[in-house]
Amino acid sequence: MSPGHESTRGTRHEAEASVQRPTSRDVARAAGVSQATVSLVMGDKWRGRVSERTAASVRQAAQVLGYRPNLAARSLRLGRTRTALLVVPALTNEFFARVYAGAADVAAEHDFGVVLYPSPEGIGPAKDPFASARAALDGVIASSMAAGALKAIRGTDLPLVMLDSDPADQGAAAQVNLDIADGMRQVTGHLAALGHRRFVHLASAVPSWTFEVRSRALETAVRKVPGASLRKVPSPLDVDGARAAAEHALTGPDRTRPTALVCDDDIVAAGACKAARRLDLRVPDDVSVVGFDDMTLATALEPELTTVRLPAERVGAAGMSALLSVLAGRAPGTGGLPVTLIPRASTGPAPR
């Protein structure tokens, strides 16, 4: 064989190696199924779980794409490190601490560990906290973020479970969501029954799926209340910023002033209560205030805050259970978790 021929072959092999291999996500997208289903079929664990037609579709997509299961990734899925990474936008929010507690409880029952990682960019692109996350983890759980923000951490191999995130996001092997929209429907029904018709939504300025759902659901619910109006006022997720936003919303003639402030979380609601006091308005006699999350803060306020309780521990537990199912080649459970309105003293009859 001539040196020239060896050089040509070596160049061709290098070029082929540089082409990114198809992943289970590519197969799932081509076959129109979830990554969990691809894992079941390629691991020959599909019988009794998916139909023969679906299994054939997955195998055909894998053949067309030239997909071969990654043995290294499979060893991770079998629990080589027995460690999951939980990525959250911040540690300053009590909700995420409770999500971690729920995930850690389930993980401990299965001899797994959970590493908590607050993304330095909030809901933006998360940096890899290790030299290579794929070498140190079995999977990733992410709360209130987008799958695209996790690319630097998980690459294409690590399974991803999304919590409180957009169901249309195709990058996840499983999702666990809360029935956020129903929470806003409960809030609207509660306030409408008290006679409120002038609503202001103190809406988070953070562009995330969960806050977008709250906004759309509130708009839809208020639209169904005869004679009701809704104004949306953007608010930072901190007490001082929310206080300023609420003061702006509450300033004006009595006949046009809102009688109810619906807040995207309890911290914003705390700022709204401070704004009312600064303007010599009484809660709830002059204006009712509703929060969202049911943090410890809700019962520390005076009057205590009407709010929507989110079962954060259950969210974390369900997320960890879903990841364990994916790692074992089982289809994860589906369905949203219910939320509950907790009426307290910050809401009352609309002022005459």
Taking only the tens place, the pLDDT of each residue in 322-342 is 999 999 888 887 778 999 999
More confident residue, 277 or 92: 277
Look up residue 159 and give its two tokens: 């399974």
Four-residue CA torsion sign, 44, 45, 47, 52: negative
Which one, of 52, 22, 54, lies nearest residue 36 by Cα?
54
Q: Which structural domains are found in the chain, ordered by start? A: 3-65 (1.10.260), 78-178+312-331 (3.40.50.2300), 180-309 (3.40.50.2300)
Residues 290, 348 contacting (CB under 8 angstroms): no
What mean pLDDT do residues 289-297 have?
96
- Neighbouring CB atoms inside 10 A of 303's CB total 15
Predicted TM-score (pTM) of the model is 0.74
Task: Check whether 10 has a pLDDT greater than 70.
Answer: no
| 319 backbone dihedrals φ, ψ, rounded to 5° | -65, -45
Task: Check whether 306 has a pLDDT greater than 60.
Answer: yes
What is the model's pLDDT at position 15?
40
Residue length of the chain? 352
For helices 52-65 and 35-42, the axis angle rounded to 10 degrees is 90
More confident residue, 226 or 83: 226
- Cα 322 versus chain centre, distance: 14
Amino acid at 105: D
Q: How confident is the model at residue 24 (pLDDT cuts 50, 70, 90)?
A: confident
Four-residue CA torsion sign, 38, 336, 264, 320: negative
Residues facing residue 116 across a β-bridge:
86
Which one, of 82, 291, 70, 257, lies nearest residue 187 by Cα?
291
What is the model's pLDDT at position 23?
83
Which one, of 131, 82, 141, 55, lies nearest residue 315 by Cα?
141
Which one, of 213, 140, 220, 200, lies nearest residue 173 by Cα?
140
Task: Check whether 71 has a pLDDT greater than 80.
Answer: no
Min mean pLDDT across 14-23, 162-171, 222-231, 242-251 is at 14-23
Min mean pLDDT across 106-110, 137-141, 250-254 is at 250-254
| Cα distances (Å, whole numbers) of residue 24 to 64, 69, 338 | 13, 8, 31
H and E: helices and strands count for the chain: 14, 11
Which one, of 164, 166, 117, lies nearest residue 144 by Cα?
164
What is the model's pLDDT at position 90?
85
What whole-number distance in Å separates Cα of residue 113 and Cα of residue 210?
27
- Neighbouring CB atoms inside 10 A of 162's CB total 27
